[in-house]
Structure 1
Amino acid sequence: MRIRYLLAGAAVFAFAAPAWAQSTPVSFSAEFQTSLEEDLGVREGEVLRTAVTEAIAHELGQRGISSQGLSIDVTIVDAEPNRPTMQQLFDEPSLDSSSISIGGAELRAVLHNASGQTSEVTHRRYNHSLADLNGPASTWTEARRAIRQFAVKVADAYVATPR
């Protein structure tokens, strides 16, 4: 039953989100792409890409922003999980899925307006210690927190950029 509600929510988001939000390019730095392929698992890249796209769409939607004449290119520079990823657990059976570590993310966006002007937004947030965790940690708890903070910065820069 819970899955049905989650799927229904995802369907509503897919139809409610502006078309530009679904096409916001989210890429990975070369170093992070290597980390995904060799350590974290390629699947995790899609998890993070979706989190970024949804967070930016949410923040822009909260402000009632349309995308006329402005595009956003996002790069996930780095991300560290709070718990081992599925690929890490598969590759290293001695890892415990309940292990907790510090996590976070670093992201960059370039906003382009219709006249060719660009502005850049960067955000970096990592825990300094396990005491920084607020509540139970999932695989990407702190990376998602960094992504939400980044999305606020992107929406603020979007509002400030001339169209």
Structure 2
Amino acid sequence: MANKKVQKAGKAAQSARSNPYVQKLIEDEELRQNIVQAYESARDAYGRLNTGKSPAKQIFDDKKLQKHVKDVAGSVRDVSVGLYEAPAKQKKRGGGLGRLILLGVVGGAVALVVSEGLRKKVLDALFGAEEEFEYTSTTSTPTPAGTAA
């Protein structure tokens, strides 16, 4: 029974070691400092909020509480960015050429929609220049039959 628990603990430790988030947490000192700073700022904010006064009044009036909340938000943002970047370094995504082609096609379509001059140039290149002509009638207008004298 104890041997199974030791084996389970070994497997859990091995899977934790291979987790990119845990690796990032172990290797990155700045990330750990941001976590500690977020915890301390949250603890300080909670301490200031838990004085018995109205929380709504404290949130709007207490500048130190606002500073602690702002520090917590900044630290949590830094931690989330740091953790988000961990798996991105592990796997490399391909498709650089495909993205470039897609971007070119979308950009060209937007340019055609927006620019009338460019649209005319493309149509002229594809189908030839548009011929401009003035229409003049070769037939004469008939005269009414009753007015001939």
**TM-score surpassing 0.5?**
no
TM-score by length of 2: 0.24
Which protein has greater RCO, CA pairs closer than 8 Å, 6+ apart?
1
> More strand by proportion, 1 or 2?
1
TM-score by length of 1: 0.23
Q: Which has the larger radius of gyration?
A: 2
> More helix by proportion, 1 or 2?
2
